[in-house]
Amino acid sequence: MNKKQRIAFLLFIAFFFFCNYNTHELRAKLSYYTLCRLDINLPLWSGQGGGKLNFQNPDNSGQDTLSTIAFGSCNQQNKAQPMWEHIIKNKPDLWIWLGDNIYADTEDMNEMKRQYAQQLQHKDYQHLLASCPIIGTWDDHDYGVNNGGKAYPRKEESKQLMLDFLGVPKTAEVRTRPGAYQTYVYGQSPRQVKIILLDTRSFKDDIGDKKTGYRLRPEAEILGKAQWDWLEMELKNNTADLTIIANGTQVLPMEHKYEKWANFPEERERLFKLLGKSTTKNIFLLSGDRHFGEISCLHVPGGKAIHEVTSSGLTHSYKTRRNESNQFRMGNSTVERNFGLMRIEWDAPVPHVHLQLRGLGNVLREDIEVELN
């Protein structure tokens, strides 16, 4: 081997180690910069993954086709978090938070910052950050108060902290208007996916709770006028091949006594009518909150089938099976800790999606196949 060949060989070895080692350092630094956005003075970790932040497109979109979408909710930052390694094994193209991403329940924003920073430091969550983009919305505990609504006094400050946690750019429109609702679009036709993230906290009217009794009022709102107007525009002339509408609150189930869209019957009916008349095809709902998992299906006006996957929780769930009725449930519910997957088979002779719930050990708890139009 002559001198030029030796130099070329050494350069190749150096390039190999750069690609397989320094990228982890870079990702770790990106995670650290996320912490800096939270104004948290923490040391830089190394060799434990890192963060791939959502700065790749200022218009909240991506060119990559989504084939595997993972999602979940109810993540207590002080509890063990064994799910991340199983989630990563499925090689998701995207992770969607469905709320209760941390359990803050506070009006102390410094304490909330600390709790978000604690979650960002989790080494297995760093591995997820390094492996795929992450987006999401909130529910009540990360909003700041259990079962909270529009009366929560720190909702604007809390929103900014959540957006920092998710790596949403400071210039994003969502930072300058009330509410945390957003839209993301991935891929190109005929494999384009649109994800609509709703905010069911910032504008929600107080209607009581299961302890005091719900006071159902026809005029009670869960989305608010501005968000309704925005949602209608997002669905109008929507050409995506698959559309996901995600929020923290169950939409389809009616029978249980906890928080649900059915506690706002006119809002729920308005949503169904909107989905029914929309030209949007292949609509799927995602929700969390309930500390168990299930898949539901309902036909909205016009006959369109709407499926909802409820995935909860990542760190805790009901200890025993609840005998809870749901007339729209498909298959069985699971009380095991779980996460959700959407596996989109774009190349199949008949394109379809597998709606899955998986538990510890990546065990498959439920799998419903839905053909795409």
Higher local confidence (pLDDT), 59 or 284: 284
Token pair, residue 184, equals: 């993301």
- CA–CA gap between residue 161 and residue 142 (Å, rounded): 10
Whether residue 90 has pLDDT greater than 50: yes
Q: What integer pLDDT is reported at residue 49 of this predicted model? A: 28
Token pair, residue 268, equals: 């729920």
299-328 per-position pLDDT tens digit: 999 999 999 999 999 999 987 777 899 999
Whether residue 8 has pLDDT greater than 80: no
Is pTM beyond 0.85 here? yes
- CA–CA gap between residue 264 and residue 44 (Å, rounded): 46
Of 201, 270, 202, residue with least CA distance to 231: 270
Higher local confidence (pLDDT), 61 or 326: 326
10 Å Cβ neighbour count for 317?
A: 18
330-362 per-position pLDDT tens digit: 999 999 999 999 999 999 999 999 999 999 999
**Averaged pLDDT for residues 121-144:** 98
Average pLDDT over the chain, rounded to an integer: 88
Q: How confident is the model at residue 33 (pLDDT cuts 50, 70, 90)?
A: very low
Percent of the chain with pLDDT over 70: 83
Q: What integer pLDDT is reported at residue 144 of this predicted model? A: 98
In which element (H, E) is residue 235 found? helix 225-235
Cα-to-chain-centroid distance, residue 80? 20
Token pair, residue 266, equals: 């006119």
70-82 per-position pLDDT tens digit: 999 999 999 999 9
Contact status, residue 199 vs residue 221, Cβ threshold 8 Å: no
**Averaged pLDDT for residues 105-134:** 98
10 Å Cβ neighbour count for 268?
A: 17
Q: How confident is the model at residue 13 (pLDDT cuts 50, 70, 90)?
A: low
Query: What domains can you pick out in the chain, each with its CATH number?
Result: 52-371 (3.60.21.70)
Q: What is the DSSP string of 33-98?
A: HHHHHTT---PPP-SS-----S-S-TTSEESSPPSEEEEE----TTS--THHHHHHHT--SEEEEE
- CA–CA gap between residue 165 and residue 227 (Å, rounded): 22
Q: What integer pLDDT is reported at residue 50 of this predicted model? A: 28
Q: How confident is the model at residue 216 (pLDDT cuts 50, 70, 90)?
A: confident
**Averaged pLDDT for residues 61-66:** 82
Angstrom CA distances, 10 to 18, 24, 25, 346, stand at 12, 21, 22, 42
Contact status, residue 95 vs residue 71, Cβ threshold 8 Å: yes
Q: Output DSSP code: residue 165.
A: H
